[in-house]
Amino acid sequence: MGAGACLGDGAHAYSLGLIDIQAGATVAQEAYLCTASHDFHKPAQPLTVSPIVIEPDAFIGARAFVLPGVSIGRGALVGACSVVTRSVPPHATVAGNPARLLH
């Protein structure tokens, strides 16, 4: 976690892989950052791990779910209860399930 970054009350950081919460970024209460899943295309369903990067001054809303391999760009905003399946560009606002670009 970078200087001034915040991981809210009840947030989960499932950190089998790297979670990089950079300076001034906020992860609100009960958000879930998940760096691992399974490869369901293979019979053994092996574990897969990918990092999550939350760039400076980004905001992850309450109860949002961020999937493995996602980056949240500098100053981006993720709406509450959103499911983020793809990386979010800097200064963008996304919301929904799956999260979609609002502006």
- Residues with catalytic roles: 38
Query: Residue 85 class from Cβ within 10 Å (0-12 exposed, 13-18 middle, 19+ buried)?
Result: middle
The amino acid sitting at 14 is Y
Give, as one character, the DSSP assignment of residue 88: B
3-state helix, strand, coil in the chain (%, to 5): 0, 40, 60
